Chain A
Amino acid sequence: MSLKIVVLAKQVPDTRNVGKDAMKEDGTINRAALPAIFNPEDLNALEQALQLKEEHPGSTVTLLTMGPPRAAEIIREGMFRGADGGIVLTDRAFAGADTLATSYALSCAIRKIGDYDLIIGGRQAIDGDTAQVGPQIAEKLGIPQVTYAEKIVSVTDGKATIKRRLERGVETVVCPLPLVITVNGSADECRPRNARRIQQYKYAKSPSEKAQLSDTALYEARPYLNIQEWSVTDVDADLNQVGLAGSPTKVKAVENVVFQAKESKQLDGTEAEIDELMKELIANHTIG
């Protein structure tokens, strides 16, 4: 059975390699100083999708991302690794969205894609770390969700068998299609960009990127090089529910916190002391 898979991806600032100038004076992210990358767990999600595509010939993997027009870069990145194509959900009206407005916009786009079997995304993005968008999309679409997935074991007879990685073990669940799956970083790493595909898809462009070109004949001859761009009107979204207008979350203030070791403890290292310390660290969630 061939599957229609949508992979949710986000272009994020690379918060793993933070330099001195990563934050501006006002406490917001200095995006210019941080390279924009494919959110790491979304890559884990893409790998799960690509594995399903291999097991189910004829399946398609479509990337969906919301962001500024330059987010087309991660659609290309996904195509280099094996995705068939993608859509950039982009509109000034989407700007400033919190997770509620984001999941609303994405769910409108997914409705427009229609007849999907699986929607797979990373557990969370490394910029906001909320892990809310995937579950909210499932709620808005009224379909089941499986979070913290480590492996989509199989998809047969309209059901997906999924292994979840939880805090204290693993759990295997079976869930009917269609569904939303959010994938953990502990899942298989995404395959590398492929040498042939990078040559095939390097010219893939979105309409706003093509607008910069003088000659676009290539895009008629090779339709798979067209990355789609959808606006608020394209996905029939309610303007009151997207962007800043649709975002109840308000940032009150941002403070710079400097960690300082205020107190230290000297232990002799007896068994009892170590035992006590371990209990304390587990209790305050430092470890465990």
Chain B
Amino acid sequence: MSNFYTDNSDLKHHLTHPLMQKLVTMRERNFADAEKYDYAPFNYEDAMDSYEKVLEIAGEIAGEIVAPNAEDVDHEGPHVVDGHVVYAQGTQKNLDALVKAGLMGISLPRRYNGLNFSLVPYIMAADMVSRADAGFVNIWGLQDCAETIYEFASEEQKAQYLPRVCAGETMAMDLTEPDAGSDLQAVMLKATYSESDQCWYLNGVKRFITNGDGHIALVLARSEEGTKDGRGLSMFIYDRNNGGVTVRRIENKMGIKGSPTCELVFKNARAELCGSRKMGLIKYVMALMNGARLGIAAQSVGVSEAAYREALAYAKDRRQFGKAIIEFPAVYEMLSNMKAKLDASRSLLYETTRFVDMYKTWEDIAKERTLLPEERAEMKAYQKLADAFTPLAKGMSSEYCNQNAYDCVQIHGGSGFMKDYACERIYRDARITSIYEGTTQLQVVAAIRHVTTGTFLNKIMEYETAEILPELEPLRDRLKAMREKYAAAVEHVLATKDNELLDFLARRLVEMAGNIIMGHLLLLDTTRNEKFAASARTYINMGEAEVEKHASFIGNFTADMLADYRK
């Protein structure tokens, strides 16, 4: 029996980041809610104390209910009965526990029965639940969609749907279709307005919909007849109580088997328009996806944590040639690199979460009053950072999660290839993280403009001036040298003015930025908490070699070489 919050002090380290005081004070509007709600905090210390207490509840449920259920859920999976999803028994138990614990609508305002928590503790709960069962976190984590309703729906819709989410109803985002996966502009599901009924009806098919039978769904549909691109798409809210959508099948997946991935058939399903027509893809899906990408970054970190712990425990336990295998350099190097990637990606996750939370909180305040010019400037700055860091965090942490799952199986040797150990489930579950909510390749597409416009470089230069422990300066000097190589590589590619070459080398450039940024974040972590020192050194050793490798590849690469690669 374990508590996934209290058994992992890294979480508290990130929860207590110095920026939290400002963030929480803003989110709580200087603690004005304490007058109205007896569960609202009086001050910053009170809010942080509540965050911790609630995270202890989430950690207990993750450790004592969700994690022990994970194996059975993986075997049993969900089923379709009469066009609707019946979860695996364990899934239902997990969900019931989280609902009873009031862990739904965590970041929604109190007036909708939410807890008005910062995104940081919400993402932290997702991190822990993912460590327990990566498939389950999807069902619980889709409460993210409520953020989109909160941001864009009418007051009436918010009052109707948000309290239901806080009371435990689950959500879904119905975006993809058989012919519209990465390319959502191709969405065909038809929305027709009925003048007589004064409502919209949806007809068509959606595919690969996570928790497709959730109570409340956000549906991307073509509202403008005759259009073919993203500008003809609008966002709708479908309430399962109204009927009209049936689950045709649940996909048989490699991993996250407890999470029902549905094919949905819409037959005159009554729906409400959310926000403005034609803004479905352009505005709302982008917001939805950014939230979801942060969620997948959390999922990736949680799975990485599980992988690292399984590998470490096995390596200590397993004896060969008369000693525990952890004593062999080949094994301890793998474990140290796993830990470094885990610590680095978690640090990037929470840095990104703070950026997202800062700009969203400013945006929310802007609905109540006009922001001062400097406040507006700060909001814009955080928005840009959130925009740059979200795909970086999703891309890098999901790749690290896969690498850690791979190494976890490797450390288990032959046993890891058998169904007897958790590592094989972790390995299968990890695989999706770098695919859904935008593949790593698409995260690179989203992040590369922050390489070319200098968002990453500027932030790196800022990290270079942050206060750190004096003994860490030599490590920071290495990061500065890495930054020079990165800047030179960017210059080199931009100088060619060749877009295909830029696209081709984009992943390497984004990874270089990621390696340098995570190196700096680990130095800042170490400054606050010495336990990160080994990971900082290990990560910078690894990152330095990576940057060198990419710099060498890019430096030697010319546009004419692309011919060998084109198929």
Contact = CB atoms under 8 A, between A and B. Distances in A.
A218 to B, nearest CB: 9
B179 interface: no
Contact of A197 (B40, B102, B103): B102
Nearest to A198: B53
Nearest to B55: A195
Contacts of A202: 49-50, 53
Contacts of B40: 199
B63 to A, nearest CB: 12
A198 B38 contact: no
Interface in B82-105: 97, 100-103
Contacts of B102: 194-197
A195 B115 contact: yes
A31 B41 CA distance: 34
Interface residues of A, number: 12
A192 B50 contact: no
Given A199-B39, A222-B38, A192 B53 contact: no
Contacts of A111: none
A191 interface: yes
Contacts of B97: 191-192
B100 A199 contact: no
A193 interface: yes
Nearest to A16: B1
Contacts of B39: 196-197, 199-200
A200 B39 CA distance: 4
Interface string A176-217: 000000000000000111111111101000000000000000
A196 B115 contact: yes
Nearest to B102: A195
A56 B57 CA distance: 27
A195 B122 CA distance: 12
B50 A193 contact: no
Contacts of A195: 54, 57, 101-103, 106, 115
A19 to B, nearest CB: 15
Nearest to B106: A195
A197 B61 CA distance: 16
A16 to B, nearest CB: 9
A194 B41 CA distance: 16
A202 B41 CA distance: 11
B272 interface: no
Contacts of A197: 39, 102
A222 B40 CA distance: 13
B101 A194 contact: yes
A199 B103 CA distance: 13
Given A198-B50, A199-B40, A199-B115, 8 more contacts: A191-B100, A192-B60, A193-B57, A193-B60, A195-B103, A198-B53, A199-B39, A202-B53
The 10 closest A-B pairs by CB, nearest first: A199-B39, A195-B102, A192-B101, A194-B102, A200-B39, A195-B54, A191-B100, A199-B50, A196-B102, A198-B53
Interface of A: 191-200, 202, 222
14 contacts: A192-B60, A193-B101, A195-B101, A195-B102, A195-B106, A196-B115, A197-B39, A198-B54, A199-B53, A199-B54, A200-B38, A202-B49, A202-B50, A202-B53
